[in-house]
Amino acid sequence: MKVLVTGGAGFIGANFVRRTIATRPDTDVTVLDALTYAGNAASLPSDERVTLVKGDIADADTVDELVRTTDVVVHFAAESHNDNSLHDPWPFVQTNVIGTYTILEACRRHGVRLHHISTDEVYGDLELDDPAKFTPATPYNPSSPYSSTKASSDLLVRAWVRSFGLEATISNCSNNYGPFQHVEKFIPRQITNIIDGVRPKLYGAGLNVRDWIHVDDHNDAVWSIIDGGRIGETYLIGADGEVDNKTVVETILAEMGFEPDAYDHVSDRPGHDLRYAIDASRTRDELGWEPTYIDFASGLRATIAWYRDNEPWWRAQKHATELKYEQLGR
Ligand code: NAD
Ligand code: DAU
C-alpha cells in the first residue's frame, strides 16, 4: 500500500509514520510537509520506505501529482496551535481551509481514499460538571480561529463525501502527548522549562480540563479507521484521560523532582476553552480499538524521559518559542 501523509514531519504525523514503518511492512510512505516552524525532518525515521517531499498542501500541482500515485491520503497537515491563531489567524485559514480544499479536489479527481485528521475542539467546550461528553452527534461550536478553521475543513470533507461520493472518513481526537511534540505545546513547554531552570507557566487558575491520549493510541485508532471505518463516518478518539492543567503541571514537577507548587500563574488565553471530553464508544465498539496507555502518569514519565534524552531535537525551537510567549505576556 502507498500512503501519502500530509504534515508527516509534525508531532502526530511523524509518530504516525514511525509507527507505520514499524508495524506495517507492506506500506510505503510519502510525506508532504511544508516544514513550517512546526515541522522537522529529523522527526522522521531514516528508512528507504519513507520519502519526504517539501511542499505546501495548498499548492495544487504538487498535491495533484502526489495524490495521483497514492492509494490513501492521511491528512494531518495543519496550523495547530491555538495561541498562534489568536495572534495571526491568516495561516490557519490558508492551510486548514484552502489546503484541505486542495487535498479534497485532488482526491476527487483521482478517486483516492482520504482520512482527514481533526480535533475535538470543533465541538467547543463543556462545563466542568457536565455529565455529557462529545459524541459524533454533538453540534459544532468552535471557539478559536484554530478550531473554527478545523471545523470548516471537516465540513468541506463531509460535503465532498455527500456531493461527489468521495471516499473519506474523519476522526476528531482529544489532546495528544508523547515524543516529538513542539515545545510551544503545554506539556513539552513545561518539561523543557523545568530542564532550563524556568518555572512552569499555568494559564489563569489552571482549572481547564483536557482529555489526554498518548499519540501512539491516536495513531493506532487512525489505522483502525483506515482499515475498517465506514466511508462518510466521523470517529471520535479519546482515552478517558481527563485531567486539569494544574494537576498536569504538579505531576510533571513531582516526576522531575521538584516541589509540586513551583510554578507561576500567567495571564489566561482569551476565549480559553474550559473542558474537552470524548466519548469514543463508536470507535471502540465498531472497530475494536482500545487505548494501551491507560496510566497517564506513566505515559508522562516516559515523555519526560524522552525530552531529557533528546535535547538536540528540541533545543533549536526553544528560544524562538519563548520569545513569542514573552510578546503574548504568557
Ligand atoms: P504540528 O503543528 O506538530 O504539525 C503540523 C505539520 O503540518 C508540521 O509538520 C507542518 O510543517 C505541517 N504543515 C503546516 N502547514 C502546512 C502546509 N501548508 N503544507 C504542508 N504542510 C504543512 O501539529 P500536530 O499536533 O501534529 O497535529 C496534526 C493534526 O492533528 C492537525 O490536523 C491537528 O489539527 C490534529 N490534532 C492535533 C491534536 C494535538 O493534540 N496535537 C489533537 C487532535 C487533532
Ligand atoms: O484538543 C485537541 C487540541 O489539543 C488540538 O486540536 C490542538 O492542535 C492542540 O494544540 C491542543 O490544543 P490545546 O489548546 O488544548 O493545547 P495546548 O497544549 O496549547 O494547551 C493545553 C492546555 O494547557 C490549555 O488549557 C492551555 C494550557 N496551557 C498551555 C500552555 C502552552 C497552559 O496553562 N500553559 C501553557 O504554557
Q: Write out pLDDT tens, residues 120-178.
A: 999 999 999 999 999 999 999 999 999 999 999 999 999 999 999 999 999 999 999 99
Atom of ligand 2 nearest to the CA of 118: 6
CA distance 290 to 281: 10
Is 56 near ligand 1, meaning CB less than 6 Å away? yes
Count of structural domains within the chain: 1
Active-site residue set? 120-121, 146
Looking up residue 228, the CATH number of its domain turns out to be 3.40.50.720
Residue 307's pLDDT band, with cuts at 50, 70 and 90, is: very high
247 domain-assigned:
no
165 C-alpha to center of ligand 1: Å? Answer: 26
307 domain-assigned:
no
Q: Where are the alpha helices (DSSP H) in the chain?
A: 11-23, 60-68, 82-87, 90-92, 100-110, 145-164, 186-195, 215-228, 245-255, 281-287, 296-309, 311-328
204 domain-assigned:
no
Atom of ligand 2 nearest to the CA of 269: 26
The pLDDT of residue 89 is 98
87 domain-assigned:
yes
128 domain-assigned:
yes
The pLDDT of residue 329 is 85
CA distance 40 to 119: 22
The strand pairing partners of 51, in sequence order, are 30
The strand pairing partners of 278, in sequence order, are 134
306 domain-assigned:
no
Residue 201's pLDDT band, with cuts at 50, 70 and 90, is: very high
The strand pairing partners of 163, in sequence order, are none
CA distance 210 to 182: 18
252 domain-assigned:
no
74 C-alpha to center of ligand 1: Å? Answer: 12
305 domain-assigned:
no
| Domain that residue 170 falls in | 2-178+212-241+273-294
